[in-house]
Amino acid sequence: MSSLFPALSDEPSERVALRFGERSLTYGGLAAAAGALGKRIRGADRVAVWATPALETAVAVVAALEAGVAAVPLNPKSGGKELEHILSDSRPALLLAAPGDEPPAPVSGLPRVDVEVIGSAVPAPAASVTGEDPALVVYTSGTTGPPKGAVIPRRAITGTLDALADAWQWTGDDVLVHGLPLFHVHGLVLGILGPLRRGGSVRHLGRFSTEGVTRELGAGATMLFGVPTMYHRIAQALPEEPELAAALGRARLLVSGSAALPVHDHERIAAATGRRVIERYGMTETLMNTSVRADGEPRAGTVGVPLPGVELRLVEEDGTPVASYDGETVGEIQVRGPNLFTGYLNRPDATEAAFTADGFFRTGDMAVRESDGYVRIVGRKATDLIKSGGYKIGAGEIENALLEHPGVREAAVTGEPDADLGERIVAWVVPEDAEAPPGAAELADHVAARLAPHKRPRVVRYLDTLPRNDMGKIMKRALNRD
């Protein structure tokens, strides 16, 4: 299989590939640095990467991929117990880290290779590998037990990135800006490897800020990647930052992922900038499955259509396909295609349970699908599908309705046992004014008027903040433990 990054050996080598703050690397410099590091780690089975938002992380992952070595990105914010589990499960031969980094135990006990961003002038040749060889082992969030290592093969990375290039008309002329963490699929695969595969550039903010977005989009960046929390902050800042609105209006593509972007934020951004945020849908195990296309209709609240090469179906609880795609019938998403992982490391039982007999991956995500193929996620099967009064209700649409109320800043919806209904709908609300929150009856009527009476929340609980993980996803299991 050829290199994942043809531009590493193409001319001109002086084109900037990566920029983190004031530090940058050209393609020639990246090829040299990755080549020098690749020579030192070649032959290892797996290497851990201390995945800080820095040049060294990008160099380390590129070096591992070019050397045919699987990289295990480590979240620097992970606790000691989680890190210990990941290391004992993946057993990396080496730790790759920036020279000044001091990871905690047990990471610090690994044999270490410091990542230098200056390397030999002659890059090492790419390793002889196949599309099925492991590229990354990315650990899931572990909401139902210890994190599982999803083994992502090289063909999944090329398949997803090339499909996104088709959907987004992504070329080497694009300059991407983002401030996403680099231990996850969104920030690392899409946000770093994506531009490098196209031969384009990425400008990483280090830490997300609206000022950074304004600066980089104003200086020629063409694409912005973010999670809903980031776009929510953008939407809130727009009335006071006209230069931010102008910068967003000049962008070619604004993309949100990792969780659903509330319709209210979609509309606020579109009204202020004239640009629509497009959404895509993926998972650690599947990389990207669907997206709104750059030349398609950016419908707020949807994640677009299946990407080239991806088969997607909705199924009932018994596994039978949903009878019709009418935009109303809820089913579990199952996918099949070259974008899928090969399995969970050391977990053949979990791997077998994750796939159907005909090779579809059970995502656990619930959705409806329009007759023209557009998909709308309504939530996770385990936490967002509420069975109330004989109806199957997705939490996502109720959350969007709540967010349209002017007194609601943030909202999450869960179900809890109810002797009469089976489950009752519970709304967790962060009010705009904690001293004068909207009443439960007012919010219930607000939802019922927009959706249907059976979708109104029966209970409203008020919070100061919603618990979120590093990617901005609301941790509903933590809500239900309260």
**Structural tokens at position 269:** 């951004």
Q: What is the mean pLDDT of residues 290-319?
A: 93
481 C-beta neighbours (distance < 10 Å), count: 8
CATH number at residue 44: 3.40.50.12780
Give the domain-ending residue among 159, 186, 213. 186
467 C-beta neighbours (distance < 10 Å), count: 16
Question: 161 in a domain, yes or no?
Answer: yes
Is 367 exposed, middle or buried (CB count within 10 Å of its CB: 0-12, 13-18, 19+)? Answer: buried
Q: What is the mean pLDDT of residues 345-351?
A: 95
Question: 431 in a domain, yes or no?
Answer: yes
- The strand pairing partners of 139, in sequence order, are 149
Indicate the average pLDDT of the chain: 90
CA distance 411 to 180: 23
pLDDT > 80? residue 138? yes
Q: Are 192 and 167 in contact (CB under 8 A)?
A: no
Reported as a single tens digit per residue, the pLDDT across 65-117 is 999 999 999 999 888 888 999 999 999 999 999 999 999 988 988 999 999 99
Q: For residue 251, what pLDDT is reported?
A: 97
Q: Which residue spans within 14-111 are E strands per DSSP?
A: 16-20, 23-26, 46-50, 70-74, 94-97
Least confident segment among 28-32, 279-283, 387-391? 387-391
Q: For residue 142, what pLDDT is reported?
A: 54
Task: State the pLDDT confidence band at 135, using cuts at 50, 70 and 90.
Answer: very high
Give the domain-ending residue among 186, 216, 247. 186
Question: 313 in a domain, yes or no?
Answer: no
Question: 90 in a domain, yes or no?
Answer: yes
pLDDT > 80? residue 413? yes
- List CB contacts of 37: < 8 A, sequence separation 6 or more: 59, 60, 63, 67, 96, 113, 115, 116, 119
Q: For residue 326, what pLDDT is reported?
A: 84
Q: What is the mean pLDDT of residues 431-450?
A: 90
Q: Which of 220, 296, 295, 299 is nearest to 263 (CA)?
A: 299
Q: For residue 183, what pLDDT is reported?
A: 94
389 C-beta neighbours (distance < 10 Å), count: 15
Q: For residue 397, what pLDDT is reported?
A: 77
pLDDT > 60? residue 459? yes
CATH number at residue 463: 3.30.300.30
pLDDT > 90? residue 268? yes
pLDDT > 90? residue 290? yes
Task: State the pLDDT confidence band at 304, using cuts at 50, 70 and 90.
Answer: very high
Q: For residue 25, what pLDDT is reported?
A: 96
pLDDT > 90? residue 123? no
Percent of residues, the chain, with pLDDT higher than 70? 93
Reported as a single tens digit per residue, the pLDDT across 140-175 is 865 556 789 999 999 999 999 999 999 999 999 999
Q: For residue 451, what pLDDT is reported?
A: 80
Task: State the pLDDT confidence band at 1, using cuts at 50, 70 and 90.
Answer: low
Torsions phi, psi of 245, nearest 5?
-60, -40
Give the domain-ending residue among 186, 219, 248. 186
pLDDT > 90? residue 3? no
pLDDT > 70? residue 372? yes
Question: 391 in a domain, yes or no?
Answer: yes
Question: 463 in a domain, yes or no?
Answer: yes
CA distance 458 to 164: 41
pLDDT > 90? residue 221? yes
In terms of DSSP H, where are the helices of 43-129? 55-66, 80-90
Q: Are 446 and 466 in contact (CB under 8 A)?
A: no
Least confident segment among 81-90, 111-120, 381-390, 451-460? 381-390
Q: Which of 254, 183, 246 is nearest to 225 (CA)?
A: 254
Task: State the pLDDT confidence band at 328, using cuts at 50, 70 and 90.
Answer: confident
Q: Which residue has the higher pLDDT, 301 or 24?
A: 24
Question: 459 in a domain, yes or no?
Answer: yes
Tell me the DSSP string of 305-366. Answer: EEPTT-EEEEE-TTSPBPS---SS--EEEEEESTTS--EETT-HHHHHHHB-TTS-EEEEEE
- List CB contacts of 84: < 8 A, sequence separation 6 or more: 106
**Structural tokens at position 448:** 């019922």
**Structural tokens at position 295:** 């030349």
From edge to edge, which strands make up the β-sheet containing 253-256? Answer: 23-26, 16-20, 201-204, 175-178, 223-226, 253-256, 277-283, 287-291, 305-306
CA distance 401 to 440: 14
The residue range of the domain holding 389 is 385-481
**Structural tokens at position 142:** 């572990």
Place of tokens 């972007």: 261
Q: Are 286 and 152 in contact (CB under 8 A)?
A: no
Total domain count, the chain: 2
pLDDT > 80? residue 35? yes
Task: State the pLDDT confidence band at 352, using cuts at 50, 70 and 90.
Answer: very high
Least confident segment among 156-165, 193-202, 224-233, 468-477? 468-477
Question: 63 in a domain, yes or no?
Answer: yes
